[in-house]
A = this chain, B = another copy of it.
Amino acid sequence: MRLTRFFLPILKETPKEAEIVSHRMMLRAGMVRQQSAGIYSWLPLGLRVLRKIERIVEEEQARAGAVQLLMPTIQSADLWRESGRYDAYGKEMLRITDRHDRDMLYGPTNEEMITDIFRGYVRSYKDLPLNLYHIQWKFRDEVRPRFGVMRGREFLMKDGYSFDVDKEAARHAYNRMFVSYLRTFARMGLKAVPMKADTGPIGGDMSHEFIILAETGESEVFLDKAILGLEIPSQDTDFFSDLTPIVDAWTAPYAATDEMHDAAAFEALGPDQRVSARGIEVGHIFYFGTKYSEAMGAKVATADAGDVPVHMGSYGIGVSRLLGALIEANHDAEGIIWPAAVAPFHVGLVNLKSGDEETDKACEDLYDRLTAAGVEVLYDDTDNRAGAKFATMDLIGLPYQLVAGPRGLKNGVVEVKTRATGEKEELSPDAAVNKLLAALTR
């Protein structure tokens, strides 16, 4: 993409309203624009990251056997009356009356609707297990939206729902998502730690939050260092085998949010084992049994026990929130440092003298070669001055910068800068292309 044909409105000033670093950087880097309190437009650079996160989620959901559909944003209040949540939900639900005076709402979550879909079609235990998910915009009318996309009102969430014939089968479904989430966040370059979460009246041990560690995280977390050394399950994992050993390995070491913290258990760890850090919740998985299926009559015929309400679980990932979380975990004073898998582009190509024939030609050649090999290049072909171009590249945080100017080209070299380390290397254009291809294409 040529910058002269892109839309990248960089802000020079740090917006006053932004309280946290990810919000400041997303505004400055032209990734989002606030349209109303807690409601954002995703500008082209931000949208590219959002889409990459979605693709990773989709790939890992498919690997784990979940099937994607898409439910609408506007729901009928009647469904929520069936579950009893229409009155219970409170002011965070955006309630709407349509032209025929029917009560509608903007979905804050989808347990009711997915249960309705299930009961509309599925009759037999033979059609189970089933895990249906979607990635859709949600609305929660927060009283005080803040922290940019980390706590917006209109936000993008992946929410999935599993259906099983009994609790034992539901545990397999839960484990599949547990393992899938470990892989999903790791692929984004994040260290996500599963931590036991509150199960409320459901009880049991099947509720985990996935928390990523970031110095600027929203809440305090406590963990056994051992969990940070565990291996992420491989992509060859058979999700229909018994995943208990993996889940057991990941739930054995101590790891808890502030809310669930057991100080005595934590203190019992050796002092070298204890890590207290700050974290950001990016996912939540939860088994809730027959809560909705009983209320809404979602039953299946079993082989021998007649009709039974299905056992369900829900599995959420804060897709738009992840952009903020990723930046909180990956930045320095100059700007964002994107992990390659979610970077809006892989390489920022900087032309130090746009309009200079030789430099333009060298840049076009680099651009064509990288692009043809599938590398996503943002080519700064503007006539801005070099300092501004460098500052923009550092701010938007592409993994590599490739810099070409008349002086270097005279000596047969261009510069490759690795954003994360700041390391710079002068290389021939051929060697630079090879280095980038080796690093970025697998």
Contact = CB atoms under 8 A, between A and B. Distances in A.
Interface string A109-138: 000010011001110000000101000010
A88 interface: no
B70 A42 contact: yes
A182 to B, nearest CB: 21
Nearest to A91: B99
A122 B30 CA distance: 12
Interface stretch (A2-10, A300-308, A434-442): A2-10
B74 A154 contact: yes
Contacts of A371: none
A158 to B, nearest CB: 14
A40 B137 CA distance: 15
Copies of this chain: 2
B96 A94 contact: yes
A55 to B, nearest CB: 11
A18 interface: no
A70 B94 contact: no
Interface residues of A, number: 50
Nearest to A102: B36
Given A5-B65, A65-B5, A94-B98, A71 B35 contact: yes
Interface string A36-65: 100111111001001000000000000001
A211 B120 CA distance: 35
A100 to B, nearest CB: 8
A72 interface: yes
A67 B65 CA distance: 34
Interface of A: 5-7, 9, 30, 33, 35-36, 39-44, 47, 50, 65, 67-76, 91-92, 94, 96, 98-99, 102, 104, 106, 113, 116-117, 120-122, 130, 132, 137, 139, 141, 143, 153-154
